[in-house]
Amino acid sequence: MPGNPRKLTALLAATAAAAGLWAPTGAAATETAPTAASAGKTAHRVTYDRYSLKVDGRRVLLWSGEFHYFRLPSPDLWRDVLEKIKAAGFNGVSLYFHWGYHSPAPGVYDFTGVRDVDRLLRLTEELGLYVVARPGPYINAETTGGGFPAWLKNVPGRARSSDPGYTRAYREWLARINPIIARHQVTRGGSVIAYNAENEYAANTDAAYMEDIQKQARAAGIDVPITHNQCCDASWTPTWASGQGAVQIPGVDDYPQAFECREPDVWGTWGEGVTERLSDDAPVYAAEYQAGAIDGNKAGYDKCRELTGPNFMKVYYKSNLIASGATMFGYYMSFGGTNWGRLAQPNDVYTSYDYGAAITENRQLTGKYDEFKRQGLFTTTVAPLTKTDPAAAPEPGGGAVHTEARANPDTRTQFVLVRHPDRTTDADASADLTWNAPDGTYTVPVRVKGRDAKVLVAGYDMGGQRLAVSSSELLTHTAADGRDVAVLYGTEGVPGMTVLRYTSKPTVKVLDGDVRASYDGKGDLRLDYTHRGLARVLVTGGGRRPLLLLLGTDAEAAKFWKHGDVLVRGGSLVRSARVAGDTVHLRADTDEAAGIEVFAGAARMTVNGAPVAARRTAAGTLTGRVPGPARVRLPELTGWRTAPGAPEARPDFDDRDWTVADRTATVSPIKPKTLPVLYADDYGFHHGHVWYRGRFTATGEETEVRLNAITGKGGSYQVWLNGRYLGSAAGGEQKDSDAPVNPDPGPGSFAIPSGLLTKGRTAVLSVLVENMGHNDDWTADDVRHKQPRGLVGASVTGASGPITWKIQGASGTDRVRGPLNNGGLYGERTGRHLPGYPDRSWTPASPAGRAVDAGVTWYRTGFRLDLPKGHDVPLTLRFGGGSGAAHRVLIYVNGWSLGEYVSGGPQRDFTLPAGILRQHGDNTLALAVVAEGRAAVGPVSLNAAAVHRGGVPVSDVPSPGRTS
Ligand code: IPT
């Protein structure tokens, strides 16, 4: 993440030329996303015009949420999250593919296990979610190296350019990922509807490179439209809308709230958030629209969720829908996940990438989820939204509200935005709109209470009904059992009116609530009510099929779920609903015993495969009762054993197998302060801690060790001389490529106690340096991402001869867990983090209340889980808070690195995803405590973030133990 993106505008150069075109076709109608039926692999045609994407000529409004499979290392949970995304009304997902996650070394790629993206794409296909595939090669995403493999740091040639070195490298990645994406395209019966080239490619651009990415895609059979996500607004040039390297559908990223989560009430820091049209021939594409925030200032993600909460979503998303006419949306993020392993890019994020998203890191649904559902069900139900032009808005009368409108030129359906003129105000304003709707002119009273906005609809053929106008918002509608069911909603306590058209006087029966109906004799049936609870009105006759109209509040609207034509009310999550014969089959999660109601022609109900007693209601629906969750007891973490973990600090440690560090040149644009080059990446050690051991012949006059280390933000390093701990220092970082290269990064000077060194004897300097992850390459200039990790300068004041160095990082790559999983701590090199490590000889002791010395200390224990079957119990590891010197704790569960606790840091709860965690079996927990002085970690416990009956079946992710 670049800081304020506007800062960089000046760096960027403009290009302009002719637009690339894609065959426009088709009439207005909607297309639902691919369904399981399309698993029969029917090929579809994907086209577009200035209004929208089209599948087989039918228009699609793409409402997608961003999801990072690499931040959820349990493929069965991909289903959980994607089902939740689908149930929120999304019809698509936007997926980054992470080069570095798949490639530990040049020419080596892994697409198995937690990296099985073919499986991910099969799943999107099965669930009927369209995919915007975003394989970079550069992705940013606050992930290490912005998605580049760390080995790219050693490849000469500027990344994100057409330099031959980089070209060879990225073509290798594209040659692997493109064929996987290609076989899952909508055009081959799959889910991929668009392909995004590069990512916010606006600084130091190279059009030949941008063009070549697309050539590589086409050569691999990618034939869906190619898109790009331009940073922030069209002032960022090139936009890739025209000229060499142009894409078919240029889109814009918009983060109007910016990222200051400490001030969640400050709105619009980065502008109005109205997606710009970049091409006359392609739809307006909100490629990344803010749906959360990174927590650079460590306010905690709940504050980020507030900054981007339901009110912001109402005001900004609805404003954008009407002001921009966009029909392609990617909300970043729908679920953020975890920077497990060493996935984080250290400047902006820590272990959690919760992002303040609608679905939390622990896969829980929030108030933002409800708002997504309210908006998503609407945008993906109402077909005329796929083709709209700006239209005259109803006059707001004397009232203090702002109106803005769009209309479908074919159906004449109107969409009217109603909000405060100043989006950030929390006033309570009312107005009577004079609305020239397709069916007549109406006076429509509206009220905007607080930070809110509404999109009202007029002149809409709602199934078999005609909605003339309404001051309530439309959630969705279905047709089942020979009648229509429609849900309208509005602010609690605020009056509403709805006009429906009939050819003769219909019969109105108010089943529930207080609704007054009047028929004007000329076709208008007017309903007046106040939004309170859920009112039910049955309208029959009048020349139309029956309508069950449900009038609710925001909260009531959020209780609905829609799967195909089955509308369901209740349950904490309804994953799927299907009617077969006279039975409706639901897959649902419940948090408490509660009613569940189905608005479809069925007489029986099953929930999660089990029959549920159900009865028909007066409203012609079916209600059943579902049980709540079982009680869960979690084990205490006991039986700990401990062992010291920094033998490398001892002068007699055997480092015979270590790599000699004697290089004198580096590819990095940042040059070392002293030689030899000690950059960890240059010796093939890319992730986690590295150890250095330097030897020199002592003069006895030495006074000070002076070092410089780059760890990335938040890291530290530790120094021993002849086994004596000299202390620690903060690791440096090269913050921003706009700033001059820091000449003295991560400095540390360590006084040498007199008498420690003896003249003529070999002295051994041991240095442990953490690597917090690699910087991104947002500005495409190599300065950030190729900045080194490890020591960049070393000298001993008073020494006369040279220091000879050896270096050791991670030994080999864990085949299953991947290259980012572990670093070069002694315990990591010897498998102490793995299941089955023989720790019997270790000292029994728990981390709670026990102090450790500076350096590295390991703890291990095991625990058995037997969570109730058919439940979802997301667990976290909770750090109660320690004391003493600064310390950090690497967390390993069944050998998987699930995060780093940092004393005084923002995160105390660490997500332990089911699958990595054996929910019914034995688990191994290993902690590596790296302390800068004497410190106590404090209590560590298991904690349930929630208990749901339901969930998805989760099988254990293979977690090989120590073999030797
Ligand atoms: C934009 C990136 O495209 C995306 O990868 C991610 O970094 C996101 O922002 C922030 O979380 S960068 C834009 C905010 C300038």
Q: What is the pLDDT of residues 269-278, one digit of tens each?
A: 999 999 999 9
Mutation test residue for ligand 1: of 11, 140, 144, the one with most atoms within 8 Å of CB: 140
Q: What local confidence, expressed as pLDDT, does residue 2 receive?
A: 40
37 pLDDT more than 80? no
Tens digit of each residue's pLDDT (9 = 90 or more) over 611-635:
999 999 988 999 999 999 999 999 9
C-alpha neighbours within 13 Å on the C-beta side of residue 469: 22
Q: How far is the CA of 162 from the centre of ligand 1 (A)?
A: 23
Q: What local confidence, expressed as pLDDT, does residue 733 receive?
A: 83
State what percent of residues in the chain have pLDDT above 90: 91
**What is the enclosing helix (H) or strand (E) of 551?**
strand 547-553
- For residue 355, which atom of ligand 1 is closest to its CA? 11
CA dist., res. 385 & res. 378, Å (int): 9
The structure's pTM equals 0.95
679 pLDDT more than 90? yes
770 pLDDT more than 80? yes
State what percent of residues in the chain have pLDDT above 70: 95
Q: Which of 142-151, 447-456, 729-738, 883-892 comes out lowest in average pLDDT? A: 729-738
What superfamily would CATH give domain 643-808?
Galactose-binding domain-like (2.60.120.260)
655 pLDDT more than 60? yes
Q: What local confidence, expressed as pLDDT, does residue 962 receive?
A: 84
Q: Is 311 helix (H, G, I), strand (E, B) or coil?
A: helix
Ligand 1 lined by 198 (C-beta under 6 Å): no
- For residue 5, which atom of ligand 1 is closest to its CA? 15
Adjacency order of strands within the sheet including 724-730: 659-661, 804-808, 690-697, 762-769, 716-721, 724-730
- For residue 140, which atom of ligand 1 is closest to its CA? 5
Ligand 1 lined by 2 (C-beta under 6 Å): yes
Average pLDDT of the residues in 836-848: 97
Ligand 1 lined by 174 (C-beta under 6 Å): no
CA dist., res. 226 & res. 211, Å (int): 11
25 pLDDT more than 50? no
Adjacency order of strands within the sheet including 465-470: 389-391, 402-407, 414-419, 453-462, 465-470, 495-501, 524-530, 515-519
Q: Give the CATH number of domain 388-571.
A: 2.102.20.10
6 pLDDT more than 60? no
- Provide φ and ψ at 565, rounded to 5°: -100, 10
CA dist., res. 249 & res. 282, Å (int): 6
Q: How far is the CA of 933 from the centre of ligand 1 (A)?
A: 37
The residue whose CA is least distant from atom 6 of ligand 1 is: 141
Tens digit of each residue's pLDDT (9 = 90 or more) over 383-399:
999 999 999 999 997 77
Which residue from 688, 689, 687, 666 is spatially nearest to 678, judged by alpha carbons? 666
Ligand 1 lined by 249 (C-beta under 6 Å): no
Q: What local confidence, expressed as pLDDT, does residue 40 receive?
A: 63
586 pLDDT more than 70? yes
- For residue 293, which atom of ligand 1 is closest to its CA? 11
pLDDT classification of 308: cutoffs 50, 70, 90: very high
Tens digit of each residue's pLDDT (9 = 90 or more) over 817-833:
999 999 999 999 999 99
10 pLDDT more than 60? no
- For residue 96, which atom of ligand 1 is closest to its CA? 5
Residue type at position 567: L
Q: How far is the CA of 955 from the centre of ligand 1 (A)?
A: 33
Ligand 1 lined by 232 (C-beta under 6 Å): yes
Q: What local confidence, expressed as pLDDT, does residue 236 receive?
A: 85
Q: What local confidence, expressed as pLDDT, does residue 738 receive?
A: 66
- The one-character DSSP state at 371 is H
The residue whose CA is least distant from atom 10 of ligand 1 is: 1
Mutation test residue for ligand 1: of 200, 304, 307, the one with most atoms within 8 Å of CB: 200
Q: Are 419 and 454 in contact (CB under 8 A)?
A: yes
Instruction: Name the residue with higher pLDDT: 957 or 399.
Output: 957
Q: What local confidence, expressed as pLDDT, does residue 206 receive?
A: 98
Within 10 A of 613 (CB to CB), how many other CB atoms are there?
9
Catalytic, 828? Answer no
Secondary structure in 3-state letters for 570-609: CCCEEEEEEEECCEEEEEEEECCCEEEEEECCCCEEEECC
Q: How far is the CA of 352 from the centre of ligand 1 (A)?
A: 16
- For the chain, how long is the longest CA-to-CA vector? 110
- For residue 348, which atom of ligand 1 is closest to its CA? 11
The residue whose CA is least distant from atom 5 of ligand 1 is: 141
Token look-up 């949306």 returns 329
Q: What local confidence, expressed as pLDDT, does residue 740 receive?
A: 76
Q: How far is the CA of 588 from the centre of ligand 1 (A)?
A: 34
Q: What local confidence, expressed as pLDDT, does residue 177 receive?
A: 98
Is 815-949 in the same CATH topology as 643-808? Answer: yes
Handedness of CA 795, 796, 802, 807 (dihedral sign): negative
Handedness of CA 732, 734, 739, 741 (dihedral sign): positive
CA dist., res. 561 & res. 570, Å (int): 8
636 pLDDT more than 70? yes
Average pLDDT of the residues in 431-442: 97
Residue type at position 786: K
Q: How far is the CA of 353 from the centre of ligand 1 (A)?
A: 13
Q: How far is the CA of 141 from the centre of ligand 1 (A)?
A: 6
- The one-character DSSP state at 729 is E
Tell me the CATH class for 815-949.
mainly beta
Mutation test residue for ligand 1: of 255, 348, 352, the one with most atoms within 8 Å of CB: 255
Ligand 1 lined by 200 (C-beta under 6 Å): yes
Average pLDDT of the residues in 303-329: 98
- Please report, to the nearest 10 degrees, the dihedral formed by the alpha carbons of residues 692, 695, 699, 705 taken in order: -10
416 pLDDT more than 70? yes
Q: Select which of 31, 288, 900, 932 is catalytic.
A: 288
Which residue from 319, 310, 500, 472 is spatially nearest to 402, judged by alpha carbons? 319
Q: How far is the CA of 229 from the centre of ligand 1 (A)?
A: 10
32 pLDDT more than 80? no
Q: How far is the CA of 97 from the centre of ligand 1 (A)?
A: 15
Ligand 1 lined by 8 (C-beta under 6 Å): no
Q: What local confidence, expressed as pLDDT, does residue 903 receive?
A: 96
- For residue 232, which atom of ligand 1 is closest to its CA? 15
- Provide φ and ψ at 278, rounded to 5°: -105, -15
- For residue 294, which atom of ligand 1 is closest to its CA? 11
Ligand 1 lined by 5 (C-beta under 6 Å): yes
- For residue 292, which atom of ligand 1 is closest to its CA? 11
Q: How far is the CA of 185 from the centre of ligand 1 (A)?
A: 25
The residue whose CA is least distant from atom 4 of ligand 1 is: 141
- Residue spans of the domains in the chain: they are 10-365, 388-571, 643-808, 815-949
Mutation test residue for ligand 1: of 1, 9, 736, the one with most atoms within 8 Å of CB: 1
Q: What local confidence, expressed as pLDDT, does residue 467 receive?
A: 98
Ligand 1 lined by 348 (C-beta under 6 Å): no
Q: Select which of 31, 66, 83, 200 is catalytic.
A: 200
Ligand 1 lined by 291 (C-beta under 6 Å): no
Handedness of CA 236, 242, 246, 248 (dihedral sign): positive
Residue type at position 215: K
14 pLDDT more than 60? no
pLDDT classification of 812: cutoffs 50, 70, 90: confident
- For residue 142, which atom of ligand 1 is closest to its CA? 7
pLDDT classification of 4: cutoffs 50, 70, 90: very low
- Please state, rounded to an integer, the average pLDDT across all residues of the chain: 94
Tens digit of each residue's pLDDT (9 = 90 or more) over 680-724:
999 999 999 999 999 999 999 999 999 999 999 999 999 999 999
642 pLDDT more than 70? yes
pLDDT classification of 208: cutoffs 50, 70, 90: very high
Tell me the CATH class for 10-365.
alpha beta
Q: What local confidence, expressed as pLDDT, does residue 235 receive?
A: 84
Q: How far is the CA of 142 from the centre of ligand 1 (A)?
A: 8
pLDDT classification of 18: cutoffs 50, 70, 90: very low
pLDDT classification of 38: cutoffs 50, 70, 90: very low
Mutation test residue for ligand 1: of 142, 252, 259, the one with most atoms within 8 Å of CB: 142
pLDDT classification of 17: cutoffs 50, 70, 90: very low
Q: Are 786 and 711 in contact (CB under 8 A)?
A: no
Mutation test residue for ligand 1: of 99, 230, 235, 288, the one with most atoms within 8 Å of CB: 288
Ligand 1 lined by 294 (C-beta under 6 Å): yes
CA dist., res. 879 & res. 908, Å (int): 5
Catalytic, 260? Answer no
Q: Is 797 helix (H, G, I), strand (E, B) or coil?
A: strand
Q: How far is the CA of 581 from the centre of ligand 1 (A)?
A: 48
The residue whose CA is least distant from atom 8 of ligand 1 is: 141
Q: How far is the CA of 775 from the centre of ligand 1 (A)?
A: 14
Q: What local confidence, expressed as pLDDT, does residue 29 receive?
A: 32
